[in-house]
Amino acid sequence: MTHAEIALKADRLTKRFGQLTAVNQLSLSIERGAIYGFLGPNGCGKSTAIRLLTGLLIADEGEVTVLGQPLAGHEEALKSRIGYMTQKFSLFENLTVLENLRFVAAIYSVKGVQAKKRIDELLQLYGLSERQQQLAGTMSGGQKQRLALACATIHHPELLFLDEPTSAVDPENRRDFWERLFDLSAAGTTILVSTHYMDEAERCHGLAILEHGIKRADGAPRELMQSMSANVVEISGDSLRQVKQRLSALPDVISAAQVGNHLRVLVSKSVDDAIGLLTPFSDNYDLALVRPSLEDVFVSCTGGRHVG
Ligand SMILES: Nc1ncnc2c1ncn2[C@@H]1O[C@H](COP(=O)(O)OP(=O)(O)OP(=O)(O)O)[C@@H](O)[C@H]1O
């Protein structure tokens, strides 16, 4: 069996800002060509972790290996092999589409005929050929996002970092964007993407759930769902708000949240019979054990602290 090539590795990476530890002993390993996600709420350290992994920020502790080379001391050399799309659109709004692409090409020393060829290719690939002369600032969210991706990949990076790339686009454009990410992944590009959307995280090959800078779980979304430390019980009936209050007070209930006409209750796996535990507090209701979702995994990893 051949070992998969590791494109990005971090070992106990730590970054402090004064009293705050924004990234705390983060270790991870991402195979070449994989799409790996950072899932977590605002402020959990996703952007800081990405900055550490790109070499834009220096870690207080820990090591990063990028494309087989230690990052420390090789930041400049590795720059040409890495692409980075920041949280806000990394575009000049008062430049045209073409000017934005030419500018980024120049930064990455893609020159002359090669630059023209690459820009034409990207304009075509991302459906922007008709808009080359349009000011970037006047385009829709989805178009801006496609241009930002074109800019981030102009130099054919082997490793691409995307920090919450779809926070400003609608579901249809998000879907289209992810299809493009899978095209890049199929061509061998390794992608690290941060998100706070569950559906987006579920598309990743691998995933780290972050909270307060700490990695709470790591694995393929399906594995995480299978190995979750809680059972999920769905309760249906009337007056669910009162039931929710009663159940939330039980020590073995990690969380209870209403989803439409159901209450979704996470019960610690240390309880053998989750339905038996809940039944006395939810008389005349229908209770059923259901399959966990990624959101359930997230809630169980973070102790239900991020849901109302
Ligand atoms: N340069 C800095 N100086 C001080 N504190 C910082 C700095 N950068 C980030 N932080 C703090 O570190 C924590 C993690 O921030 P970070 O931006 O990495 O989180 P995030 O998960 O990317 O959140 P968001 O999705 O809101 O950007 C936050 O509490 C933030 O205020």
- For β-strands 253-259 and 262-268, DSSP reports them as antiparallel
CB-based contacts of 291, cutoff 8 Å, min separation 6: 225, 232
- Residues with pLDDT less than 70, the chain: 1-3, 89, 303-308
* Closest atom of ligand 1 to CA, residue 164: 25
State if residue 45 touches ligand 1 by the CB under 6 angstroms criterion.
Answer: yes
Structure confidence at residue 308 (pLDDT) = 36
Q: Which neighbouring-strand residues pair with 246?
A: none
Please report where in the chains the tokens 């006395």 appear, as a residue: 280
Residue of the nearest CA to atom 30 in ligand 1? 43
- Domain annotation covers residue 297: no
- Domain annotation covers residue 304: no
Structure confidence at residue 7 (pLDDT) = 97
Structure confidence at residue 1 (pLDDT) = 43
Phi and psi at residue 303, to the nearest 5°: 65, 20
At 33-46, the pLDDT tens digits run 999 999 998 899 99
Angle at 298 between CA 292 and CA 303, to 5 degrees: 105
At 138-169, the pLDDT tens digits run 999 899 999 999 999 999 999 999 999 987 78
Domain membership of residue 283 as a residue range: 229-291
Domain boundary among 196, 225, 254: 225
Same domain, 138 and 251: no
Same domain, 95 and 196: yes
* Closest atom of ligand 1 to CA, residue 40: 21
ipTM of model: 0.95
CATH number at residue 173: 3.40.50.300
The strands making up 20-31's β-sheet, listed across from edge to edge, are 20-31, 6-17, 61-66, 69-70
Same domain, 258 and 149: no
- Domain annotation covers residue 178: yes
Residue of the nearest CA to atom 31 in ligand 1? 43
* Closest atom of ligand 1 to CA, residue 18: 4
CB-based contacts of 307, cutoff 8 Å, min separation 6: 255, 257, 299
State if residue 22 touches ligand 1 by the CB under 6 angstroms criterion.
Answer: yes
Query: Residue 23 Cα, ligand 1 centroid: separation in angstroms?
Result: 9
